[in-house]
Amino acid sequence: MKTEKENGGKRRVIMRGLLATAVAMVGVLPLTPSQAADKIKVGFMLPYTGTYASLGNTIANAFKLAVAESGGKLAGREIEYYTVDDESDPAKAPENTNKLVKRDRVDVLVGTVHSGVAIGMAKIARETNTLMIVPNAGADEITGPLCAPNIFRTSFSNWQPGYATGKIMADKKYKTAVTLTWKYAAGQQMVDGFKEAFQKGGGKVLKEMTLPFPNVEFQPFLTEIASLKPDAVFVFFAGGGAVKFVKDYAAAGLKGKIPLYGTGFLTDGTLEAQGADAQGIITALHYADGLNTPKDNAFRAAYKKAYNAEPDVYAVQGYDAAQLLRIGLEAVKGDVSKKEQMYKAMGAAKIDSPRGTFTLSKAHNPVQDFYARQVNGKENKSTGIAVKALADPAHGCKL
């Protein structure tokens, strides 16, 4: 007769065997009805307060529009949204990202707007192999040294719009320029891109000026620009700060005297508030008004109907983040555990965007056209393509 101890030991061995078989089977079986009924958890980490608040809201709205156009589901799975306001504060990025990754256990992180915050998010996304889609922040690092199989961007690298604007200014044969921006990754990297193209065309940068983000005390800089008398000025500002800068530039009497240029964020989503002070400003960006393609016209009409507002570049980037996610989910029939297969499909995606079709580089950054645009009324009217199929150099990416 066996003792209770011996019987218990045998039972434990059988249980361990059954458990191992069950675990192995989960990997090969199709989703059960209850798994398929589980919603895909999308974690929005975006700024809902501060100078970039309107950008964050627009991205979320357009993402939801794309999902709604797919019947509220992606690859047959319903979507559940989780939201964190990142306040555009890099110091809070680890804590805020972990709210979505560890507390809410989201399947995908969608964020963010501010480059410094995005760098903090990307570090956690890499460590935890959480899918991350960046719908704005241009930090060069994200698709440079921090690039990863699970990190994708549907917007731009900071270098790209800076380079395209510098090319426009060099083509205009300006000899000298002064730059002004917020002192953080986005501004500094856009200025670097600008300088590369401007200097290649023979231009000289007289002075690089910065102020802390999100400071808007522009007066001392405007006084200095007036005294330096460059041929042109290049700036990066966005959101509420861009509205104030364009108004202050005109109020200082510089409009019409020293041509003001910038990456397109200077006048995108801001024209209503900037009014007459923005008229004629030339910028470069991967989106413009007046593209008049069937895809863009349909997107603009749908966005206007849903939100009673004109879409801008942030809306396009948010919309395309959802389109990219759909491509990944469809490749794995909604089974997010098949990460490798999903990332592969996303990396190879050809996205039918309102901006025009684009693909992703090896580092997962859009390879896309940059438009030259000029403000006319309430539009950033395309005046043609400034740089075709511009790819970020992806310095330091080891994919």
Judged by CB under 6 A, the stretch of 133-141, 164-172, 226-234, 357-365 that binds ligand BEZ is 133-141
d(CA 79, CA 41): 6
- Shortest distance (Å) from residue 323 CB to ligand BEZ: 20
d(CA 100, CA 108): 9
DSSP-H helix ranges across 29-109: 33-37, 53-69, 93-98
State yes or no: residue 137 binds ligand BEZ (CB under 6 A).
yes
Asked if 148 interacts with ligand BEZ (CB under 6 A), we say: no
The dihedral through the CA atoms of 319, 325, 330, 336 has a sign that is: negative
Least CB distance to ligand BEZ at residue 237 (A): 9
Judged by beta carbon, residue 136 or residue 382, the one nearer ligand BEZ is: 136
d(CA 170, CA 81): 45
Of the two residues 136 and 154, which places its CB atom closer to ligand BEZ in the complex? 136
Q: Does 113 bind ligand BEZ (CB under 6 A)?
A: yes
Single out the residue of 47, 135, 138, 262 in contact with ligand BEZ (rule: CB under 6 A).
Answer: 138
Nearer to ligand BEZ, 115 or 353 (CB): 115
CB of 359 to ligand BEZ, least distance (A): 21
Size of the site for ligand BEZ (CB under 6 A): 11
For residue 114, state whether it binds ligand BEZ (rule: CB under 6 A): yes
CA distance 59 to 118: 15
Residue 186 engages ligand BEZ in binding (rule: CB under 6 A): yes
Q: How far apart are CA 357 and CA 360, in angstroms?
A: 11
188 lines the binding site for ligand BEZ (CB under 6 A)? no
Q: Which stretch binds ligand BEZ (CB under 6 A): 75-83, 125-133, 134-142, 272-280?
A: 134-142
- Give the Cα separation of 300 and 311 in Å (integer): 6
- What tokens does 307 get? 């939100």
Question: Is residue 355 a contact point for ligand BEZ (CB under 6 A)?
Answer: no
Beta strand 232-236 pairing with 260-263: parallel
Q: Which is nearer to ligand BEZ, 52 or 174 (CB)?
A: 52
Smallest gap, in angstroms, from Cβ of residue 114 to ligand BEZ? Answer: 4
Token match 């949204």: residue? 81
Cis status of the peptide bond prior to 214, with omega within 30 of 0 = yes
Distance CA 125, CA 63 (A): 20
Residue 233's CB is within 10 A of a number of other CB atoms, namely: 23
What tokens does 7 get?
């019987």
Name the β-bridge partners of 374.
Answer: 282, 381
What part of residues 38-97 is at the interface with ligand BEZ (CB under 6 A)? Answer: 52
Q: Segment near ligand BEZ (CB under 6 A), from 91-99, 111-119, 225-233, 374-382?
A: 111-119
Is 164 a residue that touches ligand BEZ (CB under 6 A)? no
Q: Does 265 bind ligand BEZ (CB under 6 A)?
A: yes
Cis peptide before 112 (omega within 30 of 0): yes
**Residue 153 binds ligand BEZ, judged by CB under 6 A:** no
Establish if 354 lies at the interface with ligand BEZ (CB under 6 A).
no
Q: Name every residue whose Cβ is closer than 8 Å to that of residue 256 and which is 6 or more positions away in sequence.
A: none
Interacting residues with ligand BEZ (CB under 6 A): 52, 113-115, 136-139, 186, 238, 265
